[in-house]
Amino acid sequence: MHIIIKDNKPDKFGKTRSEAEMNLRKEWGGSMSDEQLDKLKWMERKIKEKYGQTKNYIGLDRVDEVK
């Protein structure tokens, strides 16, 4: 019998920063404003549409570039 330890899955807390942010807000509070979160989700959606990338972590320095 094999035991699968799900806690060791690397991206358990979130495959993207927005997913991690939502989980973080349930625990300690987030790391960005609601406006930055909206921009972040929009960037992630655009990246997924254009490149198919579904796992990433975007810094707020780039989030603030979205006008």
- Contacts with another protein, 2-41, as mask; x by CB under 8 A: -----xx-xxxxx-xx--x---x--xxxxxxx--------
Burial of 55: CB neighbours in 10 Å, binned 0-12, 13-18, 19+: exposed
Looking at the Cβ atoms of 1 and 27, the one nearer to another protein is: 27
Q: Which of left, alpha, beta for 22 (phi over 0: left; psi -120 to 50: alpha)? A: alpha
Considering the rule CB under 8 A, would residue 53 count as an interface residue with another protein? yes
Looking at the Cβ atoms of 1 and 28, the one nearer to another protein is: 28
